[in-house]
Structure 1
Amino acid sequence: MWLAVIFFMCILALLAYLDTRKPKNYPPGPEWLPIVGSMLAVRKLRNRTGYLYKATAELARVYGPVIGLRIGKDRQVVCYDYAAIKEMLTKEELDGRPQGPFYETRTWGIRRGLLLTDEEFWQEQRRFVMRHLREFGFGKKTMSELVEAEAAQLVNMFSNKLITEELTVNGIKGTIVPMRDAFSVYVLNTLWSMLASIRYSPDDGELKTLQSLLTELFASIDMVGALFSQFPFLRYVAPEKSGYKQFMSIHQRVWKFLKEELDNHKDTFKLNSPRDLMDVYLEMLHSQEKKPSFSESQLLAICMDMFMAGSETTSKSLGFGFLYMLLHPEVQRKAQEEIDRVIGRERTPTLNDRPNMPYVEAFVLESVRVFMGRTFSIPHRALKDCTVQGYYIPKDTMVIANFNGVLMDKKFWGDPDVFRPDRFIDADGTLHVPDQYLPFGFGKHRCMGQTLARSNIFLFTASLLQKFNFNVPPNELPPCTNGVDGVTPSPGEFNAFVTFRL
């Protein structure tokens, strides 16, 4: 009996020891404990700093720009500086996307969509989507018209608030506008018009509920997963504490919302008369040329990716941009001087004005930098054993870039914590974008929405600053720049005192 117990304990001790061993030449990082790996060390740093990106930045200062972790069952490598991130984003062996419950549950237990698929399936689907989005205006004049129309609607919303909710503070007439979510519906509409010929109203009750739920979800998980991702058994024994119950509940609401939109399209679309990307995809499903990667569930997953991520980076970049502008009135003043000089007050801005407005364009770049400098890339997965900066990366390891290490690098930017659009303008007044500016990624997985995102931020900013002034509301403290941690950090709730420009 005792021999059996001793033998069993020895086996457990051996397994525990083997569970703490790292692969040879694996990137340096915190020690691995049995079962949990380096999770406790990362959590301790995250609790102290308040943010996952700051926690891994601390680790980079200790272990170097390539950090080797294991969270639960998952090996994870974080790349932190420019050289490591660029190598990671351009290495074909790292072109995979992660696998597991967290990344598959969101699409009915199978890998679908565009954001989290890879290899031939991803290439075929991405090629189809990009080709047909261009046919419906992506990157063309039609897209400009869509963005300009939404910018006009955004200006109308602010104007109506000023007229119907006018306040007089210290003898100045204006209104207080919550800014965190002021842009999201209008940004979503620019993409959704091409995808499904739909324009949502900011007053749409179901849409507002969904966006509120998604904000809650994005604040409670992060880009490298959730507890039920690293410890899958928690889905069954602790569905609420592991985040699984909330994750599923919110996704089910999104599935239902998008399925209704797809069913409406199926009832109204006509072969050979496509109105949008959804129609073109439905045509493919009826075609004899249909390939195995095409399915109705894949179309729904594409819609979900576009819906959940389509406005995320853009609306949060706008949020951070306007937050910092409240704290730096000179930025607003310089942008308005350029708008008045190039456009004036009579006609509305268009995307054709961009080449003549380097300062507003620099505001766009700086807004994206201060937002994306707090974020991680979408995770990659090693398709085979390989190396990054000379370190061994075993097959199926998750590899992720912390953009803080390149977009907030003091050695390159000098004063990265200062909101200063002038950093992108050369002495001769022309716009300059350095190689270290990588917020949209690099290589084959470069963000497919970059063109639309920059167009939205430019035109929404120019259109609003042409008509309105934005200031910290009287009797309110200046907004905090820390933001709220999550999948991608949010600027948090903040208000602006908005007035018509005289």
Structure 2
Amino acid sequence: MWVAAILFVAILGLLAYLDTRKPKNFPPGPKWKPFLGCALEVAGIKKRTGSFLKATAELASKHGPVLGLKVGKQKLVVVYDFQAVKEFLASDDLAGRPFGEFYEMRTWGKRRGILLVDETFWHEQRRFSLRQLREFGFGRRNMSTLIQEETQELVNYIFKSIHHRDSIIFEMTTLFNVHVLNTLWSMMAGVRYKHDDAKMKELQAILTELFGTVSMVGATFSHFPVLKYLAPELSGYKIYVNAHLKIWDFLRRELEHHKTTHDPNEPRDFMDVYLNVLKSSEEAGDSFSEEQLMALCMDLFMAGSETTNNSLGFAFFYLIKYPEVQKKAQMEIDAVLGKHRVPTLEDRPNLPYVECVVLESLRMFGGRAFTVPHRAIRDTELCGYTIPKDVLILANLHGCMMDPTSGYDNPEEFVPERYMINGNVAVPDTFIPFGFGKHRCLGETLARANLFLFIASLLQRFTFSVVADQPPTEEWRDGVTPGPRPFKARVVPRV
């Protein structure tokens, strides 16, 4: 019995020792403790700084721009400055997407969708999705028309809400939700929702809670799996499961409706085209299935609406914080469009300052964000360090766009003029809110169009200002995507 106990302790000690050893030439970072890695140190810095993004930025300043971490059972590398990020995103060896329960349980325990798949499957689905979405307006003239209709729906909603009063107060972080989603969902499912649609507001609230609870590298339950049984709420497991169940239910009902109403000869939207492919033995490859269609819709529904809505939230946060910027943009809009001609994407070259407001809003969003995680497809190198196969790797874009060493003067300040050179819009190489390379964001065209048209349309008709007794906080919400904390603005019609 004593022999068995000693043997058990010896084995446990050996395992604990091996768990603290880093792979040879692994990127530098905090020391690893048995079974925890550096989770406690990272959690302590996160608590003090307020976010995982700031915690890894602080650790990068100490250990270098390629940071090696281990949280629970998961080894991960965080890349911080521009040169390291550029090398990372250009590497084919680091172009995989992560495996694991956290990433796969969202799509029924399988690798599905477009955000978290790689290699041949990803190429087939991305190519097909881009081609078909273009048919329904993505990146084309009628995309501008779709967004214009949504901006005017929102303008009309605000006017109706004011209803002969001088002004009205709106919660800005939820004002755009449904209208931003409609610009994508009209192409995906041929459906648009009213501003006050109760079901859509519920889904958006669930997404906001989910995206604020987990992060790009997972949640507490994914780093320490036993916690999903011992502490399902505290570990984030319960909200993760419940949110996806509701999204699945919503998408499944939409898919069933399409299956019973679509005409194969007259496809109305992306879903109809995809269903036609599934019925064609010649076109459908191994990567096509009803599950994949639902996963595609879920990726675009979740990522497309949340990121653009948060970017608009940052835009109007800074427009009320810097009223002189808002006034300058309004003067340009008045000079080019007047007070009543609806802005279009064709006006973008003639509204360079508004475009600079868009760029600065994207920097404020992207500079607080991580890239979607990658996976090392094979043992490889990055900036002279060894990255073992299947290690998770992601970039902290704060280092490229908001760090004091990023090349932006006063990076915490909202300065649209930084992109104006001799009256022309100029974007620096380090401006990468959508990433770059093969995995550059699929929704960049739609996101930039949304920001431009919503900002131009709303500033044309209204002035936004701070609510005197409820000033917005400088703090922002950490999570899968960053966003401003809920804040209100007073909205006054322009005469």
Q: What range is the shorter-chain TM-score in?
A: over 0.9
Cα contact 2:154–2:195 (8 A) shared by 1:
no
Specify the code of the residue in structure 2 equivalent to 1:419.
F
What residue is the counterpart of 2:258 in the other structure? Answer: 265
CA distance in 1, matches of 2:19, 2:37: 8
CA gap of 1:238–1:478, structure 2 versus 1, over 3 A, is closer
Unaligned runs of at least 5 residues, structure 2: none
Q: In structure 2, the residue corresponding to 1:242 is in which secondary structure?
A: coil
Specify the code of the residue in structure 1 equivalent to 2:459.
L
CA distance in 2, matches of 1:274, 1:4: 69
CA distance in 1, matches of 2:5, 2:38: 29
CA distance in 1, matches of 2:474, 2:350: 30
List aligned pairs for 1:146-165, cutoff 5 A.
146-163=146-163
CA distance in 1, matches of 2:193, 2:117: 28
CA distance in 2, matches of 1:245, 1:498: 38
CA distance in 2, matches of 1:481, 1:452: 28
What residue is the counterpart of 1:180 in the other structure? Answer: 173
List aligned pairs for 1:182-201, cutoff 5 A.
182-201=175-194
What residue is the counterpart of 1:397 in the other structure? Answer: 391
Distance apart, 1:490 and its partner CA: 1.8
What residue is the counterpart of 1:320 in the other structure? Answer: 314
* 1:63 is the counterpart of 2:58: no
* 1:105 is the counterpart of 2:110: no
CA distance in 2, matches of 1:239, 1:318: 33
Distance apart, 1:343 and its partner CA: 0.9
Unaligned runs of at least 5 residues, structure 1: 167-172
CA distance in 1, matches of 2:248, 2:118: 22
CA distance in 2, matches of 1:308, 1:301: 10
Residue 289 of structure 2, aligned match among 263, 270, 295: 295
TM-score between both structures, scaled by the size of structure 1: 0.97
Q: In structure 2, the residue corresponding to 1:36 is in which secondary structure?
A: coil
CA distance in 1, matches of 2:342, 2:158: 15
Residue 421 of structure 1, aligned match among 404, 416, 420: 416
CA distance in 1, matches of 2:31, 2:490: 50
Specify the code of the residue in structure 1 equivalent to 2:38.
S
* 1:247 is the counterpart of 2:237: no
* 1:370 is the counterpart of 2:354: no
For this pair of structures, how many residues does the alignment match?
493
What residue is the counterpart of 1:211 in the other structure? Answer: 204
Q: Deviations over 1:68-91 (max 9, x none)?
A: 001111110000000111111110
CA distance in 1, matches of 2:274, 2:215: 31
Q: In structure 2, the residue corresponding to 1:361 is in which secondary structure?
A: helix
Specify the code of the residue in structure 1 equivalent to 2:267.
P
CA distance in 2, matches of 1:99, 1:441: 21
Cα contact 2:470–2:488 (8 A) shared by 1:
no
CA distance in 2, matches of 1:61, 1:11: 37
What residue is the counterpart of 2:484 in the other structure? Answer: 491
CA distance in 2, matches of 1:264, 1:249: 23
What residue is the counterpart of 1:348 in the other structure? Answer: 342
What residue is the counterpart of 2:80 in the other structure? Answer: 80
Q: Deviations over 1:233-263 (max 9, x none)?
A: 3333433332212211111011001111111
CA distance in 1, matches of 2:340, 2:111: 50
Bigger shift: residues 379-388 or 155-164: 155-164
Cα contact 1:327–1:478 (8 A) shared by 2:
no
Specify the code of the residue in structure 2 equivalent to 1:407.
M
* 1:20 is the counterpart of 2:20: yes
Cα contact 1:324–1:481 (8 A) shared by 2:
no
Cα contact 2:208–2:306 (8 A) shared by 1:
no
CA distance in 1, matches of 2:231, 2:171: 36
Specify the code of the residue in structure 2 equivalent to 1:146.
L
Specify the code of the residue in structure 2 equivalent to 1:397.
V
Specify the code of the residue in structure 1 equivalent to 2:186.
S
Cα contact 2:27–2:386 (8 A) shared by 1:
yes
Q: In structure 1, the residue corresponding to 2:23 is in which secondary structure?
A: coil
What residue is the counterpart of 2:34 in the other structure? Answer: 34
What residue is the counterpart of 2:379 in the other structure? Answer: 385
TM-score between both structures, scaled by the size of structure 2: 0.98
CA distance in 2, matches of 1:177, 1:414: 32
What residue is the counterpart of 1:467 in the other structure? Answer: 461
Moved segments of 4+, more than 3 Å: none
Distance apart, 1:10 and its partner CA: 1.7
Cα contact 2:113–2:293 (8 A) shared by 1:
yes
CA distance in 2, matches of 1:103, 1:255: 15
Distance apart, 1:2 and its partner CA: 2.6
Specify the code of the residue in structure 2 equivalent to 1:114.
I
Q: In structure 2, the residue corresponding to 1:486 is in which secondary structure?
A: coil
CA distance in 2, matches of 1:387, 1:41: 26
What residue is the counterpart of 2:445 in the other structure? Answer: 451
CA distance in 1, matches of 2:58, 2:85: 17
Q: In structure 1, the residue corresponding to 2:170 is in which secondary structure?
A: strand
Cα contact 2:212–2:478 (8 A) shared by 1:
yes
Specify the code of the residue in structure 2 equivalent to 1:194.
M
Cα contact 1:147–1:190 (8 A) shared by 2:
yes
CA distance in 1, matches of 2:215, 2:5: 42
CA distance in 2, matches of 1:121, 1:262: 22
Distance apart, 1:272 and its partner CA: 2.4
Distance apart, 1:3 and its partner CA: 3.1
CA distance in 2, matches of 1:79, 1:202: 40
Specify the code of the residue in structure 1 equivalent to 2:461.
K
Name the Cα RMSD after superposition: 1.1
